[in-house]
Amino acid sequence: MFKLACPSCGAEVVYRSATSAIAVCAYCRSTLLREADAVRDVGKMAVALEDYSPIRIATSGIYAGQAFGVVGRIQLRYDAGFWNEWYILFDDGSAGWLSDASGQYAITVDSGLALDAPAFGQIVPGGRYVCDGVTYSASDLRTARCTGGEGELPFPVGAGWQAKVADYRQSHRFLTLDYSEGATPRRFVGKAVDLSELKCQLLREPSEIARSAGHLKGKAAALACPACGASISWRPAVAAHLHCPACGTESDATTGTAEIMEAARREALVHTTLALGEVAEIDGKSYTLIGLMRCREIGETEEWTEYLLFGEAAGFLWLVESTAGWDKVKVLDTWPEYVSASAVGLEGSAFTRMLAYGAEVIFASGAFNWRVKVGDTVAITDYRGSRGTLSSERSPAEITWSLAQRVPAGTVDGWFGKKGKLAFGAAVGAAAVRGNVAPPQALGWLAKLFTVILLLINVPLAFMGGFGSWLITALAVGVLWLPLFFTLPGDTP
């Protein structure tokens, strides 16, 4: 450990690792470059944006049987979002990185230069790379710039510093090729992890995360749309890529004020079953609906709605509503062990290839943890198995895997406290699948409702009008129930 006084403000600065090249003064933000037993002030480091990450400097944990502590962080931003790289030191003096992106974590350690790596420009999502007999698949490739940092770091970094990295996955394994220093990358090898698996200590509490973002726990802040002035609800610590629900203007609020990125006004709003700001209790955890997208299959008329939910203690979750029903969707940290032309293997389960199609975003509203644009397209391949539907989504820069599990409309109804509205709406929606004919369940409800109304109005009149009035009332009731006799075989009201 190496201690000294900051040459700018006099505060104590500590280098915990002999390999740390710089340290950022916690008081004045001076970046101090270590040279032998002295340091040189090389400028100010921008403050890292406080997001929803529970990690902080001083967080500790255990990985591969060794204790580690977090001593530094750099924040990297690319065209569609940003992520944190936490610099960690192990008890034996070695170092590594804890990657933190939208609630997904991975620990990697430097394994030296990758002389067999492909050129950065030749890497595509899904591309293969073999290391130590394991075949990895490229998950994403990014060119990002440093926008802030703190603590100790192993190399000089500051405003404008650029990172060129390609991430690879195979099951729980994680590998990064870092081209930031030149054409031959450094290789970092490790695994995707969960913070509970690391037995982390001194994590930030959800309430502390909320306070650092400037709003109360469980509450959303209101921001005026820079285009039309309408109020946009958002969570400063969670998602800062905003779509105005009134006019559709896309904004970036990472600085705390909305700046127009692209005017995308809509002539008409899209009606959705669930609304922004609604709260759900799912699997014992509280979620808030913060963003929604309307998507369409490319070249077809099939559309569906994707709802992004966030919980302080649970992270992100998706709900997808289509004509087939509702699905609960979780983006996977663990990738398939193998992918063939006809099947995929995930954690010992086999999934059979079903469909391959393209999808595009035709409407977006609310807040997202990455930049969403109307017109964004992805290539989707669905695989069916006993655990649900496994899907890969491929864009020019990344590929993701997610697992969807079918959920009854009544269950979703209970999550959001809709008191039967979603279950009834699902019955009506099923009619579209059969050619815009109301299903028997919906017809049954309507027939019962209007029969009661008809009887309440006409029975008193029938007592005064004689047999003719009774006959008319009976015919009217018959007309209400007649459509039920023409439902498909096996249907019951």
Q: Residue 168: its pLDDT value, please? A: 97
Half-sphere exposure of 146 (CA within 13 A, CB side): 21
Distance of alpha carbon 283 from alpha carbon 281, whole angstroms: 7
- pLDDT at residue 296 greater than cutoff 70: yes
Tell which wins on pLDDT, 417 or 47. Answer: 417
* Structure confidence by residue, pLDDT tens digits, 247-286: 565 555 554 444 433 433 443 457 889 988 899 999 999 9
Look at residue 157 in the predicted model and tell me its pLDDT. 75
Q: Is the pLDDT of residue 44 over 80?
A: no
Answer yes or no: is pLDDT of 454 > 50.
Answer: yes
* Residue 420 or residue 97, greater confidence: 97
The identity of residue 463, as a single letter, is F
Q: What is the pLDDT of residues 342-392, one digit of tens each?
A: 999 999 999 999 999 999 999 888 878 777 888 999 999 999 999 999 999
Share the mean pLDDT of the chain: 77
| pLDDT score recorded for residue 263 | 36
Token code pair at residue 393: 């989504």
Please name the amino acid found at residue 271.
H
Residue 307, pLDDT > 90, answer yes
Q: What is the pLDDT of residue 108?
A: 97
Q: Is 123's pLDDT higher than 60?
A: yes
Name 177's Cβ contacts closer than 8 Å, sequence gap at least 6. Answer: 114, 117, 120, 123, 129, 165, 166, 168, 185, 186, 187
pLDDT at 331 over 60: yes
Output the DSSP codes for 112-131.
EE-TTPPPGGG--TT-EEEE
pLDDT(127) > 60 = yes
Indicate whether 82 pLDDT > 90. Answer: no
Label residue 231 by pLDDT band (50, 70, 90): low
DSSP secondary structure code for residue 204 in this structure: P
Average pLDDT over residues 302-308: 94
Longest Cα pair distance anywhere in the chain, in angstroms?
110
- Helix/strand/coil for 277: coil
- Tell me which residue has tokens 């009976």: 474
| DSSP, res 90 | E
Q: Give yes or no for a contact between 244 and 255, defined as CB atoms under 8 angstroms apart.
A: no
pLDDT for the residue numbered 473: 64
307 or 475: which carries more pLDDT confidence? Answer: 307
The reported pLDDT for the residue numbered 336 is: 94
pLDDT exceeds cutoff 90 at 470: no
Query: Among 260, 311, 314, 259, which Cα is nearest to 290's?
Result: 311
**CA–CA distance, 486 with 488 (Å, rounded to integer):** 7
| Highest-pLDDT range among 98-107, 166-175, 227-236, 365-374 | 166-175
Question: What H or E segment, with its residue span, contains residue 481?
Answer: helix 467-481
